[in-house]
Structure 1
């Protein structure tokens, strides 16, 4: 997994008014859970940018007043009108304890069906996996070279190494759709 660092400060007041004041000052109230104890903290909103606007999964180094902890961004909440980040939840990465994350799927190769005029349709962009944080890859690579017209690859085609795939095995990941213009010519053959 890729890594990023967020420097923050412990929260003394956990109420709604204190959280609103922090947001007005440009901070994001956050919580780290899943370890020995919960840690409530706040950090500047600008530090969350690499985590939010990417499909990648990051292991976050949380430096909270000199105390170093590791986590994975689990959930975010946004303002309903201006889409500003108003809260973030982190799952603490504990040595030897499995984590559940969504890993992006990267397609490689040029499909036979696309060469013949078909349209590549990626139906699943992320795959839910569970495993130790050091064994979860940055992305899952799926080769589509042998995919013909009207064919699809399902989750069961993905080889899991060191992690467990939690997504349903029957969900199609990618398919080659036959365009309307080609449908008539394929029936004639």
Structure 2
């Protein structure tokens, strides 16, 4: 994956009024998840923006509330590409990926973002764009290649996740489909249902006519 550099500020005022004021200033509230899992009670002092979320069995998860500007994340969000985010807060840098995003239903501006902290030790699940290559046999026979899944969910350590998964369709025949269960990529675990259709060569009227004439 490409790396996107992002600087954020800790967010300490979490009320609705404060959130509304942030958005008026063209800023976005962000939550960084995936932080350290600690034993409770937690005796260390939390840094600005950090909070402790109890997850059961005497454990807690440290999350961080942050603020970024709309302009700072524009090239991260409004693109088909995926990125590993080099996130800097108060001079400290951590790696993260974009986990979820909420848009305004009318204005299409960003209302909220969720980031997930990642390491080169722990696998993460993320959607990766699909790129088809080759010339399908079914297309040569008059069919139409249709991409059903623009992204595939994969699981791996973030350093092993590619910018896109490339799928060769040279041998995809007329009327045939390619399913998740037929694919394999070194270092990646595919998380979609095995029978999910990634792409297919659909019969066109011309292809049906050619088949009928050949019979």
Aligning the two structures, in what range does the TM-score lie when normalised by the shorter sequence? over 0.9
| Displacement of 1:181 | 3.0
> What residue number does 1:179 align with?
204
CA distance in 2, matches of 1:71, 1:16: 26
> What residue number does 1:116 align with?
141
**Secondary structure at 1:38 match in 2:** strand
CA contact (8 A) 1:106 1:142 kept: yes
> What residue number does 2:104 align with?
79
Does residue 157 (structure 1) correspond to residue 182 (structure 2)? The answer is yes
Does residue 38 (structure 1) correspond to residue 31 (structure 2)? The answer is no
Q: Residue by residue, what CA displacement relative to the aligned partner does 1:16-64 show, whole Å, maximum 9, x if unpaired? A: 1111111111111101011112111101111211222222221111111
| Displacement of 1:160 | 2.4
What is the number of residues matched between the two proteins?
A: 189
> What residue number does 2:127 align with?
102
Does residue 61 (structure 1) correspond to residue 86 (structure 2)? The answer is yes
CA distance in 2, matches of 1:76, 1:102: 13
Higher Rg: 2
Q: Following superposition, which runs of at least 4 residues in structure 1 exceed 4 angstroms of deviation?
A: none
Task: Give TM-score, length-normalised by structure 2.
Answer: 0.84
CA distance in 1, matches of 2:185, 2:167: 12
CA distance in 2, matches of 1:153, 1:136: 22
Q: Residue by residue, what CA displacement relative to the aligned partner does 1:95-131 show, whole Å, maximum 9, x if unpaired? A: 4111110011110011122122211100111111111
> What residue number does 1:8 align with?
8
The runs of 5 or more residues in structure 1 that have no matched partner are none
Q: Residue by residue, what CA displacement relative to the aligned partner does 1:64-92 show, whole Å, maximum 9, x if unpaired? A: 12121111100011112211101100011
Does residue 127 (structure 1) correspond to residue 152 (structure 2)? The answer is yes
CA contact (8 A) 1:35 1:94 kept: no
CA distance in 2, matches of 1:38, 1:71: 13
CA distance in 1, matches of 2:129, 2:28: 26
**Secondary structure at 2:71 match in 1:** helix
